[in-house]
Amino acid sequence: VFSKIFSHEALESYLPKIQLVIKDTLRAWSSDPEPVNVYHEAQKLTFRMAIRVLLGFRIPDEELGRLFEVYQQFVENVFSLPVDLPFSGYRRGIRARETLQKGLEKAIQEKLQNTQGKDYADALDMLIESGKEHGKELTMQELKDGTLELIFAAYATTASASTSLIMQLLKHPRVLEKLREELRSKGILHNGCICEGSLRLDNISGLQYLDCVIKEVLRLFTPISGGYRTVLQTFELDGFQIPKGWSVMYSIRDTHDTAPVFKDVDVFDPDRFGQGRSEDKDGRFHYLPFGGGVRTCLGKHLAKLFLKALAIELASTSRFELATRTFPRITLVPVVHPVDGLKVKFFGLDSNQNEILTGTDAMLGATV
């Protein structure tokens, strides 16, 4: 069912809605006279994308904001000691989940009652329909659990990668300009505007340098450290016997840092994935930001599409500058993100690429 949710056809139908959510968000960032906390706002953006696009909920903005705050409290307490005491993280997480599920149940019921005006099948539609195809009407609890799982999958890791993308574009203006050149050469960007109807899935897939940039962001700043697997059959690795039934953790970051195929591993270099070098093509499992094998992340194509759509909008319709003297330190837990959230001032651009200054004519932030 979930593979159908992330199929090529499904991604094609999601794309216009993803673009709309990103455009609205960047417009709001550009109209804010104060610097934006990118990581926090990226969390809001990915949450909104999951609610509006994946699930097709028509929740008013004010209510959506309240639901986001509850969801954050839930996420912050997911990894808590299971001690059910007043004021414990576990108790706060349970309460947040209960409040969240009440809000989701209301949204699901409204969605089931209002089927008019739909121009695409979202993930929740497919989940409901697949249940019927298999002769099983999904219960409300199953729908709430599936909904929460989809939001969780689309939230933290994509927000982390989005923040890393913006930070690297700030650090490497030549990469940003090279992205713009590719968009112009492919007929997507003209006179500072994205050409009408140019952003289709096949067009985005043909942007080779953009693909390299996203791959390099995910190599150098993989959102999560690794994953777990259960040993199905006793095997030997480097002289050590790993028994059947044991849990094994694999490290994505250590793999990317030590894989012999990557040259100058600490350098942000999108060209390493270009046709001339193709460093990720040498050997198996040297590059695995989404895991590897049969249990690789099902949502990886949606995540990459979202990041590409964000990069295109950033390169086409925004100018942005670091609002602190230096770039922040990066922390690795719970996912990779800047410790201060990355403070950035965004400036919108009109059709002639002229700055639309908001709040003040003074240039806020450091020049990069």
What does the angle CA 92 – CA 96 – CA 99 come to, to the nearest 5 degrees?
140
> CB–CB of 338/39 below 8 Å?
yes
When the pLDDT of each residue in the chain is averaged and rounded to a whole number, the result is 90
Q: Is the predicted pLDDT of residue 5 greater than 50, yes or no?
A: yes
Q: Quote the pLDDT of residue 120.
A: 86
Q: Which amino acid type is present at position 90?
A: Y
Query: Helix crossing, 123-133 with 89-113: angle to 10°?
Result: 80
> CB–CB of 7/333 below 8 Å?
no
- Using a pLDDT cut of 70, give the percent of the chain over it: 95
pLDDT: which is higher, 274 or 295: 274
- The pTM of this model reads 0.91
pLDDT: which is higher, 222 or 3: 222
Q: For residue 147, what are its two tokens? A: 């909904």
With CA atoms as reference, report the closest residue to 193 among 348, 25, 15.
348
195 is in an annotated binding site: no
Which residues are CB-neighbours of 92 under 8 A, at least 6 positions away?
73, 77, 80
Q: Quote the pLDDT of residue 360.
A: 33
Q: Is the predicted pLDDT of residue 342 greater than 90, yes or no?
A: yes
CA gap 25, 16 in Å, rounded: 14
Q: Quote the pLDDT of residue 4.
A: 85
With CA atoms as reference, report the closest residue to 15 among 351, 302, 337.
302
The DSSP secondary structure of 349-363, one letter per residue, reads E-TTS-EE--S-SS-
CA gap 47, 24 in Å, rounded: 14
- Using a pLDDT cut of 90, give the percent of the chain over it: 72
Q: For residue 233, what are its two tokens? A: 């059959």
CA gap 69, 62 in Å, rounded: 11
Provide the Cα torsion 304, 308, 310, 314; round to 10°: 150
> CB–CB of 208/22 below 8 Å?
no
The predicted model gives 53-82 an average pLDDT of 93
For 212-238, letters b (16+ CB in 10 Å) and e give bbbbbbbbbbbbbbebeeeeeeeeeee
The predicted model gives 166-178 an average pLDDT of 97
CA gap 210, 59 in Å, rounded: 33
Residue-range domains of the chain with CATH: 4-56+121-220+268-275+290-348 (1.10.630.10)
Q: Quote the pLDDT of residue 314.
A: 96
> CB–CB of 47/240 below 8 Å?
no
The pLDDT tens digits of the residues spanning 284-340 come to 899 999 998 888 898 999 999 999 999 999 999 889 999 999 999 999 988 999 999
Q: Is the predicted pLDDT of residue 352 greater than 60, yes or no?
A: no
> CB–CB of 143/108 below 8 Å?
yes
CA gap 155, 141 in Å, rounded: 21
How many residues can be counted in the chain? 368
Residue 349 — very low, low, confident or very high, per pLDDT cuts 50/70/90? low
Q: Quote the pLDDT of residue 131.
A: 81
Which residues are CB-neighbours of 43 under 8 A, at least 6 positions away?
68, 72, 155, 156, 159
The pLDDT tens digits of the residues spanning 139-153 come to 999 999 989 988 988
Q: Which amino acid type is present at position 74?
A: F
Residue with tokens 């949450």: 47
The pLDDT tens digits of the residues spanning 95-141 come to 999 999 999 999 999 998 887 777 888 999 998 888 888 888 889 99
The pLDDT tens digits of the residues spanning 178-217 come to 999 999 999 999 887 888 888 899 999 999 999 999 999 9
